Amino acid sequence: MSGILAGKTILVTGIITDASIAFHTARVAQEQGATVIITGIPERLRLIDRIAKRLPQETPPAIGLDVTDEDSLGALADSVRELAPNGVDGVVHSIAFAPKTLMGPDALPFLDGPGPDVAKSFEISAWSYAALARAVLPVMNEGGSIVGMDFDPRTALPDYNWMGVAKAALESVNRYVAREVGEAKRIRSNLVAAGPIKTLAAKAISGTATDDAKKLTMLNEYWDGASPIGWNVDDPGVVGTSVCAVLSDFLPGTTGSIIYVDGGASHNTWFPENFLQ
């Protein structure tokens, strides 16, 4: 099969629905010739296997992985080896979580965010990037690529709160992971900073279905307006395609870096058309 990932085996974490950024990364990776293996949270494996059947090519059953469970992380390399005896060339970390006290309709004000809940969101959304890199390093091939998912945390955003702080931490974690995996096996580590996409995780930010639809529409309008090339929250393929580019051999000199896939919105100060009138 031809394509920019032909001959490569890619491990994708983070599929929970067919809107997940991870799902569209796996889809494009298969379309680009990769063999894809996936992980999923252990309590939802049957659902994830069903979702994975919607991918264009055959995908092995999901390997259970809970990044908060050391045993689960410790067992990952052996499970991957069984499915991919020749090792993996790329790994996608598409995992984030924040307790309800920090995000959504019942979220507390930022200043009241409870320490243990902030620590949980940091563990799953930032620390786990390094934990996953450690877990997969034994089965990763020389010159591979690890990619994580970022949401530009350089400014304070309404509703994003402590998840923004976790993403700022993730950006730093990525730079340190890049040092060690690069030295160990010439593996690159990068983040893709995506614009907003309508997924389960995005819904958790705003809460109820009505609020959700309203806030996502507002965010979409803002993002689309701020982007010189336009943005669509209903098009996760843009992000999945870009993650595959970073997994490929076509960014051979990029590591410890952030690739912005947000329509350019975060690099463009946007005002409504009638702003100065």
Ligand X SMILES: NC(=O)c1ccc[n+]([C@@H]2O[C@H](COP(=O)([O-])OP(=O)(O)OC[C@H]3O[C@@H](n4cnc5c(N)ncnc54)[C@H](O)[C@@H]3O)[C@@H](O)[C@H]2O)c1
Interface with ligand X (CB under 6 A): 14-17, 20-22, 41, 65-68, 94-97, 124, 149-151, 194, 196-197, 199-202
Cβ proximity to ligand X, 68 vs 254, nearer residue: 68
Cβ proximity to ligand X, 156 vs 200, nearer residue: 200
- Closest approach of ligand X to the CB of residue 202, in Å: 4
Cβ proximity to ligand X, 29 vs 142, nearer residue: 29
- Can you state the percent helix, strand and coil of the chain, rounding each to 5? 45, 15, 40
Cβ proximity to ligand X, 137 vs 194, nearer residue: 194
- Closest approach of ligand X to the CB of residue 235, in Å: 11
- Closest approach of ligand X to the CB of residue 66, in Å: 4
Give the helix/strand (H/E) hosting 108: none
From edge to edge, which strands make up the β-sheet containing 35-40? 63-64, 35-40, 9-12, 88-93, 140-150, 188-194, 257-261
Query: Taking the CB of residue 222, how many other CB atoms lie within 10 A of it?
Result: 15
Residues in Cβ contact with 100 at an 8 Å cutoff, skipping those fewer than 6 apart: 106, 107
Residues in Cβ contact with 218 at an 8 Å cutoff, skipping those fewer than 6 apart: none
- Closest approach of ligand X to the CB of residue 7, in Å: 26
Cβ proximity to ligand X, 5 vs 38, nearer residue: 38
- Closest approach of ligand X to the CB of residue 231, in Å: 11
